[in-house]
Amino acid sequence: MKEIRICANENCENPVGSGRSDKKFCSDECRSEQNNIDKKKKKVAGAPDPRVEPYIEAVQQELLKNRHILATCCPGWDTTKTIKLSKLKDMNFNLRYFTSETEKSDSGTIYRFCFEYGYMFLPNDKICIVHRPELLNYPPLNGIV
Ligand SMILES: [Zn+2]
């Protein structure tokens, strides 16, 4: 007895018809329609966006690179050092990425941090870098600068 297979498109009830034994759809249109349905279902189910992991890795690399540059320019423990902002840029420092921002309560000065290294902008192309090892404590404390 020959088994009658029905089209694998969930919106179609046509028999698959004759042809290869692994044929699943009655037509190419049904195959492509079902592929689109499957794709939509994956999105609804929260399938991870394939760009997320490479993006996170790239940002982590930028943050680590920034931290390394700050550590190189501000060596030592619990130190402060003022250098030219253009020097940081020459070293490929990426101002777009930082891990936290702190406002000094007395002066309102904003410090941006890449982990335990921070910086604030000064006039005349200068930047003040600080090393704040106490930031390595967990949980992070407010107003630590
Ligand atoms: Zn069909």
43 CA distance to ligand 1 centroid (A)?
23
For the chain, the structural domain boundaries read 1-47, 52-136
**Ligand 1: distance of its center to the CA of 27 in Å?**
6
Q: What is the pLDDT of residue 86?
A: 95
Tokens 């009655």, residue located: 26
119 vs 108, residue with greater confidence: 119
Distance 33 CA to ligand 1 centre (A): 9
Q: 31: closest CA among 50, 12, 47? A: 12
Q: How confident is the model at residue 141 (pLDDT cuts 50, 70, 90)?
A: low
Rounded mean pLDDT of 114-133? 95
pLDDT of residue 138: 67
**Distance (Å) from CA 40 to ligand 1 centroid:** 19
Cβ neighbours for 27, distance < 8 A, ≥ 6 positions apart: 7, 14
3-state secondary structure of 56: helix
